[in-house]
Amino acid sequence: MKQSRFQWAATAYLFFGFLFLYAPIFMLIVFSFNDSKVNAVWTGFTFKWYLQLFSNKGVLEATENSLAIALVSTLASTMLGTVTAVAMYKFKFKGKGVLDALLYIPIVIPEIVMGIAMLALFSILQVNLGMATLIIAHITFCLPFVILVVRARMQGFDPSLEEAAMDLGANAWKTFLHVTLPIILPGIVAGALLALTLSLDDVIISFFVAGPANTTLPLKVFSMVRTGVSPEINALSTLLLLVVLPLAVIAERIRHKNS
């Protein structure tokens, strides 16, 4: 009897937990098709907010900037992060513990501190704010996440596999390409997707390092929200969900395939 009550309570807790998480997202999607500009009242079904969104040059330009910054910063941080994670796992050198501790600083410090620090650095170096500073800043805060994810994947790595490959005549590059890389690939993909998400989602750091002529999609949405949440924002958020969900499914399939 007690066990059945516990199962009922656990099921109810799980149901309301998921309801709390996903009900706002469901309502956002539904009201992106609402004919009324007021989100609280349903007046009819329409696609006009999506049409208005695609005719909004400011939103399209911000989306293009965000995608370009996210792709470049994800590619750069994934490559640098993978090489760094492999090197820190395989080799022992002086100051490795200090470097390991420094990796956590960009993760644990508040984003506003990181943004101010990046702005101060660019000001000291007299670098004009723009796309270049946005990309550098995004690589900077994405890199530690990629390194930690790839290193976590390498914790279960068996060094004897590399030794066996090299005993059979493979050089260091072929060993990495055909032995090490396939094993740590799920970690690399997970790190890349995390970096992509962080880059697309960032507001605070981008606010400090974006120039007056450059804006990202989160900054554009933030400026739109300050004047009131319009159905265009709901439509934009729905489209972002349609982009993110397939990436999450692909990442999960890769993880299961290689686990």
pLDDT at position 242: 83
CATH tag for 57-257 (out of 3.40.50.300, 3.40.640.10, 1.10.3720.10, 3.30.70.270):
1.10.3720.10
Give the SS3 label for residue 33: coil
Whole-structure pTM value: 0.81
pLDDT at position 259: 56
Q: Residue 156: CA atoms inside 13 Å, Cβ hemisphere, count?
A: 10
- How far is Cα 138 from Cα 160, in angstroms, rounded to an integer? 36
Give me 62's structure tokens.
């911000």
- How far is Cα 215 from Cα 129, in angstroms, rounded to an integer? 11
Q: How many CB atoms lie within 10 A of CB 180?
A: 19
The residue ranges of the chain whose pLDDT is under 70 are: 1-3, 39-40, 227-229, 251-252, 254-259
Residue labelled with tokens 């704010």: 129
Give me 188's structure tokens.
């690399």
Helices assigned H by DSSP within 91-211: 96-102, 105-108, 111-124, 131-154, 159-167, 172-175, 181-201, 204-209
- How far is Cα 74 from Cα 194, in angstroms, rounded to an integer? 9
pLDDT at position 81: 92
Rounded to the nearest 10°, the torsion over CA 82, 87, 89, 92 is: -160
At 197-213, the pLDDT tens digits run 889 888 899 989 988 87
- How far is Cα 29 from Cα 164, in angstroms, rounded to an integer? 53
Can you list the pairs that 176-182 forms with residues at least 24 positions away whose Cβ atoms lie under 8 Å?
Answer: 176/86, 180/86, 182/258
Q: What string of DSSP letters covers 107-118?
A: HHS-HHHHHHHH
At 32-77, the pLDDT tens digits run 888 877 766 778 888 888 888 888 888 888 888 888 999 999 999 9
Structural contact between residues 100 and 222, judged by C-beta atoms closer than 8 angstroms: no
